[in-house]
Amino acid sequence: MKIAVIDYKMSNMFSINNALISLGFRSKITSDPNAILRADGAVLPGVGSFPEAMRHLNDLQLNDVIKDFIISGKPFMGICLGLQLLFSESDEFESCKGLGIIDGTVKGFSKYINSEPIPHIGWNTVYSQNLVKSNINYASKIGIAENNYYYFVHSFFVQPKQKNNILTVTRYGDYEFCSSILKGNVFACQFHPEKSGPRGLNIFRNFFN
């Protein structure tokens, strides 16, 4: 299976590419629209600021490529900033429009959390309790088990408008935030599967298979 790791010049693409290759996928880092659209699956990684990332995607003319890939129905994964970019808008540094795949916004922890250090860095658990039953079943299918630990590094988080897009939530301090989403063929997570050991690799394996 050919997986395109989308290169927009500011992401953790090499560790993701290495993780996919270790699982036997034919993974390639690329910003070539044709190579992305021909792939069997795609990953939108990301580390950095939302506005800068959107400028890079615009400059590389990848916005419509990503949207066309998702419309094709093939599996698409977003990771960390790659999750946030799928949303309608963000208020990181400035008001900025996102890709608009998921209806909702990206917010900073500083407005909601006073008791914990920001950014949120380290291992934390994910939960799917009290969410849409079909999403709980899907989380289990791709290997996200209740109370499993995954690795997080972020200062911003997503707020989906439609609760049925929320796949898992995570608690940081006394605040609960959305830690992964599901919409059709799109799965995206705030945590880093590529840095989360065997459990994280299992998510790559199950999602793309």
pLDDT digits (tens, 9 = 90+) for 191-202: 999 999 999 999
Q: Which residues of the chain have pLDDT under 70?
A: none
C-alpha 180 chain-centroid distance:
7
What is the C-alpha separation between 92 and 14, in angstroms, rounded? 25
* Sign of the four-CA dihedral 45, 29, 203, 74: positive
Which of helix, strand or coil describes residue 183?
A: strand
Catalytic residue among 92, 120, 154, 194: 194
pLDDT score at 10 = 80
Class at the top of the CATH hierarchy for domain 2-94+104-208? alpha beta
- Name the nearest CA neighbour of 106 among 125, 128, 91, 126: 91
Based on the residue annotation, tell me whether 189 is a catalytic residue of this protein. no
So where are the chain's domains?
Answer: 2-94+104-208
Based on the residue annotation, tell me whether 192 is a catalytic residue of this protein. yes
Alpha helices in 47-146 (DSSP H): 50-59, 63-71, 81-84, 133-141
pLDDT score at 135 = 83
Strands 76-79 and 87-90: unpaired
Tokens 């003319």 belong to which residue? Answer: 61
Based on the residue annotation, tell me whether 194 is a catalytic residue of this protein. yes
pLDDT score at 132 = 80
Catalytic residue among 52, 56, 80, 92: 80
What is the C-alpha separation between 3 and 38, in angstroms, rounded? 9
Catalytic residue among 96, 178, 189, 192: 192
